[in-house]
Amino acid sequence: MPLALRNSPSSTSARGNLEDRLIQAHRRIETAFLDGGASLVAVMELVTGLVGTLDRVTGALDGETTQAAIAGLHRTIAELARLPDIMAERQLSFDEIADLCAASRRHVDDMHETFRYLKVFAITVKITGAGLDEFADFADEIRDRIHSGASEIERFADELKSMQGELFTARSFSSSVLGDFRVAIPEIVANLTGNATRLIAQHAAMAKRAGEVRAVAANVQTKIAAALSALQIGDITRQRIEHVQASFAHLDAFLEGDGRHLGSAERDGIAACILHLAHAQLDETLQDFRTKCASVFTTISSFTADASRILDLRAELAGFRDAPGEDILKIIARDIRHACDLAARVEGRSRDATALVASVVDAVQTLITAIEMIRSIKVDIHYMALNSNLRCSRLGDAGRSVNVVSGELRTFAGRLEEPADNVVAGMRRIETSAASLSSGSGAEIANIAMPLDMALQSISAVSTQMDENLDAFNEQGDAVFGKIAAAIGALDFESSLGTVLEACVEMAGRFAQDLGAPVPSSAAASLSQTIYRTYTMAQERDIHLSIFPMGEMDASPAAASPAVAMSDDDLFEDALF
């Protein structure tokens, strides 16, 4: 310590205490502003993440996924709206087949009745031809053919009855489904149509809310950027403290060097100048510090209103999902699932109906073959009876009775022709109707689940994406609010550091007072110039010149160089490191 400041223990203690306080203030300012800056950066990162989440929310609302989901939904609505008509058409095919089977059954009954009469005539031929040897074999043969035909018609009737039973089951199910469709499908279609419109409107409202949140977030980002810029007061304050500390070091070096030959009074006067200079610099630093910190704190405190607005808008966005009846995506998915359940039920039975159709087609072919068999038997009976008539004509009166019965056989055998033709025609029409069940409306019914499943997947994907983004937005909103609350405390520099700097100012003021009034000396010109060159701000230079007037400074190039005109912005930038 220089002699000028070693004259009394009190001076030594005061100087040491002041330097300790300056070191402490420097350290605390550095730590506090680093922490405060980190806190602001953390808020900025969270807000940036929140904006990114909002972009994903609006992307989900306006993106290709939603557009595809809506387009798929409209296609699904169109497909569903056609279902009752498709099922009605299908029901008509079943009804037509059932009616044709019933008509064929009546014709079969007619043929069955005809064969019953033919059996009677076969017995009559046997009786009337008992005395005629040449008719014995004929009677047995014609009876066998008639019984064969009767057996065929019985089998035909059984096949037809079995087919009618299967058709009854399919027809009943089709009728039940048609009833369900006529009740459920219009309701589902109406719900989906209305909810598709509601979805577009809701998404527009959500996009508007998201835009408001984005605007608030952008405002917060702007404020954070301004606050981060204002935090440069921490660097400036630290630097000005360093300049004060440097002035003490330069004083010590001067008094131990160029000023060692000066008298005690002159040295004390120079030391007093430096202490008054330090007090003035610290006092100005404190005032600037308080002004800037108050501005920072005002800016940061306004974050509370912004954070509250974000939380309010978050609640409104969440309301679109959480309020009863408002999660339209899930309502749409529920209606589509209902339609999918109906479709699955229909598809399951449609496969059964397809198998039935194949069975009907096979049965029709079998029945037509059976009818052709019956026709051939009818032809055999006809010609056998005709042959009997010719024989009886040669026998005269002996063959008269057999001749009459043979004529009746031919007449009744002829009656098989018309119902057989009608049955064959009916079977052909059944075959055509059955084919329509496996193509056309049948194919549409079989493929009904595919567009429904695709629509459900699209809607579910959008719903899941929306849930994930809104959940993330909720979490980020809480995190932003918490970080802002923490930042307000961390950035209240006036409360945490103002008293520290104020103590330094007061201590420097007392020390300067103890040393008396400043007495500038031309001998201290080199010291003044050295200290002057350390400054980076115009304010520091102005204060310096108030203690060490320019007239007391040597007008050398080195001394004049700091007087180069610089703007405040340039000086402010030079202060940053």
pLDDT of residue 370: 79
User: Domain limits of the chain?
Assistant: 3-62+218-319+472-574, 82-211+324-462
Q: Which amino acid is at 505?
A: V
Question: Tokens in use for 473?
Answer: 């937005």
Burial track 428-455 (b if 16+ CB lie within 10 A, e otherwise): ebbbebbebbbeebbebbbebbebbebb
Question: Tokens in use for 449?
Answer: 């689940």
pLDDT of residue 133: 66
Q: For 75-88, write each residue's pLDDT tens digit.
A: 777 777 777 787 78
Q: For 338-372, write each residue's pLDDT tens digit.
A: 888 877 777 766 666 667 777 777 777 777 887 88
Report how far residue 261's alpha carbon sits from residue 320's, in angstroms, rounded to the nearest whole number.
85
Assign domain 82-211+324-462 one CATH number from 1.10.287, 3.40.50, 2.40.50, 3.40.720: 1.10.287
Q: Which residue reads 């405390």 in tokens? A: 489
Q: Are 463 and 330 in contact (CB under 8 A)?
A: yes
Question: Tokens in use for 274?
Answer: 């430096």
Q: Are 43 and 228 in contact (CB under 8 A)?
A: no
Q: Using a pLDDT cut of 70, give the percent of the chain over it.
A: 85
pLDDT of 550 over the 80 cut: no
pLDDT of residue 69: 66
Q: For 472-512, write each residue's pLDDT tens digit.
A: 888 888 888 888 888 777 778 888 888 899 999 999 999 88
DSSP conformational letter for 60 = H
pLDDT of 127 over the 90 cut: no
Task: Choose between 562 and 505: higher pLDDT.
Answer: 505
Burial of residue 347 (CB within 10 Å: 0-12, 13-18, 19+) is: middle
Sequence-distant (≥ 6) Cβ neighbours of residue 108 within 8 angstroms: 153, 156, 157, 160, 419, 423
Q: Is 440 helix (H, G, I), strand (E, B) or coil?
A: coil
Q: Which residue reads 């980002």 in tokens? A: 221
Q: For 213-250, write each residue's pLDDT tens digit.
A: 889 888 988 988 888 888 899 999 999 999 999 999 99
Question: Tokens in use for 405?
Answer: 């019965």
pLDDT of 10 over the 70 cut: no
